[in-house]
Amino acid sequence: MDLHSRREQLDAEIFDGIRELIGRVIALGESMAQGLCVPGFFIKALHTLDEPMAMKDLGKRMHCDPSFVTVVADMLEKRGLARREPHPGDRRVKNLVLTDEGLQLKQRVESELSARMPWSTTLTQEESEQLLRLIRKMVGAQSQPASTGADTLVSTGIADPSPTTSAGEVDEALGAASAPVG
């Protein structure tokens, strides 16, 4: 096998490994959400809300449509996990802020997820530190335009070409959210 084809094979194996790892991490999050009787996007919203955040910014960080963020905010408010507050610099903007109950749930979820992550259960501390350095190196080396990377993900079938959450996904999430947080 020549060097070029070995590199292609190695790249394919790395890609498959990362895809498998991401799938497992997502499955852990979904499993935890199901155990808490909340939709999976609650986990992402809780994790993302590390400070009072404009709903528009939350949508950008969650990579979803602003109308979906409204649904998320409504559901978090309904469960007493968050509240809307006026932005201090612009009264037209609403910040979403976790309540004490929301902060407690966020801490519980993040603690449990961290303990279950493959790097926490499989790697030594030194290996985990090395993994973090490698991840940061790869993230820092992203020099391609975002559209090139996204086009590649879409063309390989990994990513959905639509940048927003569909109405069907919202309906499905609303149906899954009818159970109480436990």
Structural domain harbouring 110: 3-124+162-176
Enclosing H/E stretch for 3: helix 3-35
Cβ count within 10 A of residue 61:
16
| Residue 155 placed within a domain | no
Q: What is the pLDDT of residue 52?
A: 92
- Kindly report the pTM of this predicted structure: 0.66
Strand partners, 85: 95
| Residue 151 placed within a domain | no
| pLDDT tens track for 132-181 | 999 999 988 875 555 444 454 444 444 444 344 444 443 344 333 333 34
Cβ count within 10 A of residue 93:
14
| Residue 55 placed within a domain | yes
| Residue 93 placed within a domain | yes
Least confident of 14-18, 20-24, 152-156: 152-156
| pLDDT tens track for 58-115 | 999 998 888 898 999 999 999 999 999 998 888 888 899 999 999 999 999 999 889 9
Number of compact structural domains in the chain: 1
| Residue 169 placed within a domain | yes
Q: What CATH number did the domain enclosing 170 receive?
A: 1.10.10.10
| Residue 181 placed within a domain | no
Which three-class secondary structure state does DSSP give residue 110? helix
Residue with tokens 């020099």: 143
